[in-house]
Amino acid sequence: MYLLQVSNMLLNTIKNIKVILGSQSPRRKELLASLDIDFDVVVKSIDESIPSSVPPAQAAEYIALQKLAVFKDNVTQDTLVITADTVVVDEDGNTLGKPASPEEAVEVLQSLSGQTHTVYTGVALSYKGQSQSFTEETRVHFEKLHTDEIDYYVQKYKPLDKAGAYGIQEWIGRIAVKSIEGSYENVMGLPTVRLYQEIKELIK
């Protein structure tokens, strides 16, 4: 009974505070909404270049923290701010961001075909003068893709807004993702289970 009361208090607290999602990603908006959290979307431009000293596995969290920093002087302390970034890293350690063109998207998917890659989503949060951040990792195993399948996907789904040039929730995820190790939502761009636990820890 006590645990239920504590849980209800936390849920009520989350529902009664102002929440800002610093991302325009439709997937992140969908995933955060699925936690039954009301929020506003506020997007601020930052320099998303990554210093060479930052390892690929830490790049997403680095960018998430840069996104969070621009909110520091622009929101009240009792506002919960959530920012995130996702990067895809291939087996050779190359970071695969959002493709600049359909041709580049085809090249990226050709490099992922039949291989295993890692998706890192970095998340940063701030509330009442405190901030914390984390990185969630998911390994994704791709089946071998035919050139026609890659061309079809790129032409129909136009994945230029997606790190790694694909959305796991789309057609290509149904035909190419053989298995994953880790969070499915993390590949979409927001690891909801870990995020919810981090929010509870931050606002309690």
Catalytic site residues? Answer: 85
> Whole-angstrom Cα distance, residue 46 to residue 125?
17
Question: Are 61 and 133 in contact, with CB atoms under 8 Å apart?
Answer: yes
Q: Spell 11-44 as b/e; 16+ CB within 10 A means b.
A: eeebeebebbbbbebebbbebbeeeebebeebee
Element of type H or E holding 40: strand 40-41
Question: How far is the CA of 104 from the CAs of 151, 159, 161, 164, in angstroms?
Answer: 11, 10, 12, 10
DSSP string, 83-117: EEEEEEE-TTS-EE---SSHHHHHHHHHHHTTSEE
Say how many residues make up the chain: 204
3-state secondary structure of 155: helix
